[in-house]
Amino acid sequence: MPRLFGTDGVRGLANADLTADLALGLAQATAVVLGQGRSAEARRAAGKRPVAVLARDPRVSGDFLAAAVAAGLASSGVDVLDAGIIPTPAAAFLIADIDADFGVMISASHNPAPDNGIKIFARGGRKLPDEVEARIEHHLTEPNLAPTGAGVGRIRRFADAEDRYVVHLLASLPHRLDGIHVVLDCAHGAAAGVSPEVFRDAGATLTIIGNDPDGMNINDGVGSTHLDLLAQAVIENGADIGIAHDGDADRCLAVDADGNIINGDQIMAILAVSMKERGHLTDNTLVATVMSNLGLRVAMDEHGISMVQTKVGDRYVLEEMNEHGFALGGEQSGHVIMSEFATTGDGILTGLHLVSEMARTGKTAAELASVMDVYPQILVNVKDVDRNGIHTDEILAAAVLSAEKELGDTGRVLLRPSGTEQLVRVMVEAADQPTADRLAHALADVVRERLTV
């Protein structure tokens, strides 16, 4: 049986792949696995039930999926605090803030509206390790004891959920945002309520787009995966910076006053240098993935900051940060994790701290982003090939070695098998775009020739 959990929870086409029955069963299995921890047992010893936080983004299928999850949890003896529509990082924060036993977020992040997903967080608002996900999947096929009478859970509204999160975000800021004009793109998503509120409370002047969710327009031409409208709005309004979230607001990308994109690597570089200056960067170390641009490593070297690289996926960044107590990490896509304030990527927190650095230093967004030169990069996906062959084919290995020798210290090559499809990703960075393009397509041809199934 294939794994139900992917790299970020259970995701699929709502009411087709991800049904109400599956959501209910998954909630019941989760209650069995995560409702038996020490905190839950302590509650039971005191005559109380385990507690879970439930939240969702505004896509229309969230209504029935959240209802199914709430029913599954309550029928398994778990009290549910329904926080309604809030960002994923808000849900993670609230789990820790009220010491809940676990939590569930209904969201498909940057995916289009017909999709949805179920993300599960353990106590403390932390993502689940693989082995815990496997235990939940196992219990989906096992009969679960169901309480009756007074043993069933209660479902209540988490009335002050958003207020708690806003107070937390504002308390994290090293500097207010007064005098800075921000265009905020909420992706018609979960950030639509809280992000404008907190940016205004922090002192920013706001222009807002992507802030009218109707259940079907989430991520539709707006947000961190579609930055053209944001760039246009920044230029037309003479704003200082644009901040874009994705559907569940765990990402942040930006554009400067001229509409130039500031990606996740550049945001991490800005924050890393600032945190080092202020003594907040643990061991002067940044955690990023192997897909981060070579320019990030060069910039960190120039500022005396070490860089640890992990496999692709914010969960692997988080694992490295948690294991060693690092303060900052993330991905080029805009998942930025600031562990002093969050247990997962938080797009609103990231945007606030980026704009706060503008206010603190008096520099423009472009000046801050210039801390890092972005090396030309190209990614080519080669489909219908034996993805495992990249580790064993000698001719392909020789072609990679030849490309690396040509690049020297001015670029790099990365071949990576897809985790879900029969394809290989060929990534090349170089000092100039023509060289990157030439080498990437040449290597893709070798992959295609040697590994076609």
What count of other Cβ atoms lies within 10 Å of the Cβ of residue 438?
Answer: 16
Q: What Å distances lie between residue 370 and 116, 260, 364, 424, 433, CA to CA?
A: 37, 12, 10, 32, 19
For residue 11, report the phi and psi dihedrals to the nearest 5 degrees: -135, 150
Catalytic residue among 109, 274, 333, 356: 109
Binding positions for Mg(2+) are: 109, 246, 248, 250
Roughly how many angstroms between the first and final C-alpha of the chain, as a whole number? 23
Cβ atoms 61, 17 nearer than 8 A: no
Exposed/middle/buried for 56, CB within 10 Å: 0-12, 13-18, 19+? buried
Would you tell me the crossing angle of helices 161-172 and 347-361 to the nearest 10 degrees?
30
Q: What is the rounded CA–CA span in Å between residue 192 and residue 189?
A: 6
> Would residue 109 show up in a list of annotated catalytic residues for this protein?
yes
- Assess contact for 155 and 77: CB atoms under 8 A: no
What the block records as the tokens of 289 is: 């993935």
What is residue 356's three-state secondary structure?
A: helix
Selection from 231, 240, 244, 223 nearest residue 365 by Cα: 240
Residue 45 token pair: 């010893």
What region, left, alpha or beta, does residue 237 occupy, with left being phi > 0 and alpha being psi -120 to 50 degrees? alpha
Catalytic sites, residue numbers: 109
